[in-house]
Amino acid sequence: MSRIRAFAAFWYDFVIGDDWRVALGVVLALAATAGLVHGGVNAWWLLPVVVAALLGLSLLRVVRAARQS
């Protein structure tokens, strides 16, 4: 059981890393892009904007957490 847990933990750390919100935000933005494309909008611009915001918010969380500790 502990080996399965360690295996899962390795892949979680490998793919998701320290901030799961970034990964979730990327997936949601891609789903929205696919939805817009399906509706006839070439939404290439959506993901770059979301990624810039996600990175900024993730950095902000680290700085705030460090200040509070």
Interface characters, 33-52, with other proteins (x: CB under 8 A): xx-xxx---xxx--xx--xx
Residue pair 30/46 in contact (Cβ under 8 Å)? The answer is no
Torsion sign (Cα): 38, 39, 41, 44: negative
Least Å distance, CB 53 to other proteins, is: 11
31: amino acid identity, one letter: A
Min dist CB 69 to other proteins, Å, is 8
Please answer whether residues 32 and 45 qualify as being in contact, where contact means their C-beta atoms are separated by less than 8 angstroms. Answer: no
Residues that bind other proteins (CB under 8 A): 10, 14-19, 22-23, 26-27, 30, 33-34, 36-38, 42-44, 47-48, 51-52, 54-56, 58-59, 62-63, 66-67, 69
